[in-house]
Structures are given as structure tokens and as C-alpha cells.
Amino acid sequence: MICDNLSVNGENHLTFAGRDVTELAKKYGTPLMLLDEGKIREKMSVYREAMQKYFTPDSMPLFASKALSFKYIYKIAKSENIGIDCVSAGEIFTAYKAGFPLENAYFHGNSKTDDEIRFAMERGVGHFVCDSIEEVSAVDDIAGEMGIKQKILLRITPGIDPHTHKKISTGSVDSKFGVAIETRQAHSLVESTLKLENVELTGFHCHIGSQIFEYDPFGDAARIMIGFIAEIKKLYGFEAAQLNLGGGMAVRYTEEDPEIDYAANIKDISEIVSSLCSEYGVAVPQILMEPGRSIVADAGMTLYTAGYLKEITGLKNYISIDGGMTDNPRFTLYQSPYTVLLANRMNEPCDYKCTVAGRCCESGDIIQEDVMMPKPNRYDIIAVLTTGAYNYAMASHYNKVPKPAVVMLKDGEDFVVIKRETFESMTANEVDFD
Ligand SMILES: *Cc1c(COP(=O)(O)O)cnc(C)c1O
């Protein structure tokens, strides 16, 4: 199967992290999101160990927490000794409530408000990743007001097209993120930042996109960024102490996707970094990377109960489920591929083609099109694999559907980390009128 935390037991039920998922669906109800803590920790430590081994020893992965943000995951990140990347005061607040040491947090985003900037500084967020000259001066002003010197990185667009989906590609010149090298706006941003008193520039950041399988685009980004660091050193005498290469390494969603050796990719990127640094005569910076998807995606699984089978003669079959775009909008947004299994009938031949359709009043509410599975019956358990990243994080209340429960699996135990929403909790902010 696509990940080593999947198997089938003697009852022909799918297992995940060694647990019978049909049993878990019965225990907690559906839709249900399962998370495999062992897999999350394994991925975090693969990044941490490879980065410390191949880059400088203080190099560190930052979990891009937008992929899946809730209190318990920040506790895992803390105990795995890695940093985090946050993109809103809400994520910072969640990490803060979990006791995460915010000096290891990097605050991203292209639209930070003054309130958010203050909120982050009051809680001691270590670094800001600034996206524009106006933001740098807002951060400088507020840091001045608060009497602190805020460490910042500048987000640079290296001008790379990583051949991924347009909506998740961010490295090219025409992007709402960062400042371009190509137009030399990046150079002038550095020049003006270095004149400010309340910010301390520590280095540069780039993020070229997401779900990128080959390491080449990362190598290209490193090449461009180190060239930029060298140019800046020559122009302004400033030598970057940190280079943040962003996130974006892919995960396997289907059997067709190749397997990815994250440590080998990191090693290859590190060779480019060290040879270029010596070629250009700059010190090897502390390297940061921001994996989100590749930390949590295959640590997640969503379970649904099958509803009604609609066979449209001569055209198509649809099986409905008790969730959909409210818990997983990624097919609707990006036509994302997923592996879908009939979890309680794993021994039966997959000889029936059907489209897995969500419950929302929206024709586009599809989880996956034309899946081969045993002909589904009502109450079968449908498992969608690799849903740890950008599923719960993107969940909505469309059609007033409550968000599912999230259950963590750890060493044979299972426990709720996010409660299933109730109608009451979902309407808690709504004012009552007589
Ligand atoms: C989305 C994002 C990430 C994480 O990307 P993944 O593909 O999930 O690894 C990291 N850094 C920045 C700036 C991002 O926008």
C-alpha cells in the first residue's frame, strides 16, 4: 500500500497504525479523521536529523502548521525539537496555548495586520518573515513602539516554476508572495531594511510551491538564493545568517506517485548549498525548511459511512458519503487525487467504478472521481487515505455540517484530540433573538 502504516487484518478490514479502522468508525462515528502520531514524529525526526547532519548542526525544520493546526500537534513539534511556521495570530495563539516555545516560531503571511504584529511580538515570536517593504516598516514601527528589536527574514521570489498546480505554485515573479529578484525590488528591499533600527535582518526566505516530487526545483531555488546572498554581501556588506528554503516536498497520494526519500533530497540540496557557498565565498547559513504536507499528510485518514448508490444507466455511478467538501475540499479546489478504499471489505475485488460524492448541495462536492472498489453498500466504511494535510485545516461549515472528530492513534491507544462539533458548538457565536 502507499504508506507503511496501512495494512489489512484477519477480518479483511483496513488497519491504520495497527488499528482496525472499521472498529474505530464504530466507536467514534463518522465522518472521522484519524491521525497516526508515530508517523508524524517519524517525519519530523527524518527532517530534523537529515538537516542537522547535512546542513549546519543548528539547521532546523519548521512545521508549516497551516497544514494542520491544533494544540496537540504543537506539543508534538515541541517534543520533537523542531520549529513552526505560523501564518496568522490564530495559529500563534493555538501554539501559545499548547505551550510551544514561540522563539522557535516564524510568522509568515502577506497580509499581517497591526493587531497581529503586536500580538506576535507580545508573545515573543522569534522571527517574522516579511513580505513587502510596507510590512517591514509596519513591523519596524510597532517594534519601536514596544521597545524591542524584532528579528526578521525577507521573503524573496526566486522566479521558479516548479511544475505543480497553479494555485499551489508560489515561486514565480507573478505571485502575491514575496519580492522578486528579477525586478531588483528584492535588492532595494534589503537596502532599505538594513537602515531600520527596530528590525534585525537575519536572512532570506523563499517558498516555491507545494507537492513537488523532484528535488531539482529546490536545488534551483537554493542556487538562486545563494547567488542572491552573495550579491547582497557584495552590494551592502550584509551576510545572511539564515536561509529558509520553504516547504513543498510531495507526498504519495496514489500508487502512481513515486516514493520519496526526504533525507536523500535534503542531502542533495545540501551538496548544492555547500558547493555554491564556497564558490561564492559566503558562509554556509543556518538552513531552515518548512515542511507541512510531508509531515502530516500520510499520518491522516478520513473515514466515512457510505450512503446511497446512484447508478445512472450507461453513464456513471455515484456513492454518497456522510461528509465531503466540508471536511476535504481539495478535490473541489484542485482536483486532487486520493486513494479511496472500502475499509470493511478489503478482500473483495475492486471491479466496480464509482464516484465518491459528498453530502453538500454543490455538484462540485466530490471526493474522488471514478474510483475502482467493490460495489459499495449502505453503511460500508469508506476510507480516504493521506488526508492529514490541508483537509481539517480547510474544513468549513458549509451547509451547516459540523466538523468531524479528530482521533489520535498512538502506541495502540486512541484518544480524541479535537472533539466532534455539535450543533450547539457550531452555533455558539450566533446571537439569539426572540
Ligand atoms: C504552504 C507553505 C509551506 C508548506 O508547504 P507544504 O507543501 O505543505 O510543505 C511552507 N512555507 C510557506 C511559506 C508556505 O506558504
pLDDT for position 324: 98
**Which candidate, 133, 178, 126, 185, places its Cα nearest to that of 156?**
178
Q: Return the H-helix or E-strand segment holding 23.
A: helix 21-28
Write down the pTM of the prediction: 0.96
| Contact yes or no for 67/293 (Cβ under 8 A) | yes
- 3-class DSSP state of 67: helix
Closest atom of ligand 1 to CA, residue 249: 9
All cell numbers assigned to 83: 520549529
- Distance from residue 354's CA to the centre of ligand 1 (Å): 33
359 CB-near residues (< 8 Å, 6+ apart): 307, 320, 321, 322, 323, 324, 326, 365, 399, 401
Catalytically active residues, by annotation? 361
All cell numbers assigned to 313: 444507466
- Distance from residue 254's CA to the centre of ligand 1 (Å): 21
Q: What are the residue boundaries of the structural domains of the chain, listed by start?
A: 6-30+298-426, 37-291
Q: What pLDDT digit, counting tens, does each position of 122-168 carry?
A: 999 999 999 999 999 999 999 999 999 999 999 999 988 766 656 65
CA–centroid distance for 195 within its chain: 34
- 3-class DSSP state of 182: coil
pLDDT for position 109: 95
Q: Half-sphere exposure of 193 toward its Cβ, with a 13 Å CA cutoff? A: 33
Whole-number Å distance between alpha carbons of 250 and 43: 13
CATH superfamily of 37-291: Alanine racemase (3.20.20.10)
Q: Ligand 1 pocket test: which of 44, 46, 60, 66 has the largest number of ligand atoms within 8 Å of its C-beta? A: 66
Residue identifier of the C-alpha nearest atom 2 of ligand 1: 247
Closest atom of ligand 1 to CA, residue 211: 7
Whole-number Å distance between alpha carbons of 126 and 81: 15
DSSP 8-class letter at 210: S
Q: What pLDDT digit, counting tens, does each position of 227-244 carry?
A: 999 999 999 999 999 999
Residues with CB under 6 A from ligand 1: 64, 66-67, 85, 108, 207, 210, 246-248, 290-294, 389
All cell numbers assigned to 94: 493555538
- Distance from residue 62's CA to the centre of ligand 1 (Å): 10
- Measured in degrees and rounded to the nearest 5, phi and psi for residue 194 equal -65, -20
| 6-30+298-426 belongs to CATH 2.40.37.10 | yes
pLDDT at 175 exceeding the cut of 90: no
Q: What pLDDT digit, counting tens, does each position of 318-335 carry?
A: 999 999 999 999 999 999
Whole-number Å distance between alpha carbons of 267 and 53: 9
**CB-neighbour burial class of residue 372 (10 A; exposed 0-12, middle 13-18, buried 19+):** exposed
Please provide the distance, in angstroms rounded to a whole number, between the alpha carbons at the two ends of the chain: 55
Whole-number Å distance between alpha carbons of 12 and 7: 10
Q: What pLDDT digit, counting tens, does each position of 273-325 carry?
A: 999 999 999 999 999 999 999 999 999 999 999 999 999 999 999 999 999 99
Q: What are the strands, taking DSSP E only, across 158-299?
A: 179-180, 199-205, 242-244, 286-289
pLDDT, average across residues 258-269: 96
pLDDT for position 183: 92
- Distance from residue 210's CA to the centre of ligand 1 (Å): 6
Q: Ligand 1 pocket test: which of 65, 85, 87 has the largest number of ligand atoms within 8 Å of its C-beta? A: 85
**CB-neighbour burial class of residue 83 (10 A; exposed 0-12, middle 13-18, buried 19+):** buried
pLDDT for position 215: 86
Per-residue confidence band for 372, with pLDDT thresholds at 50, 70 and 90: very high
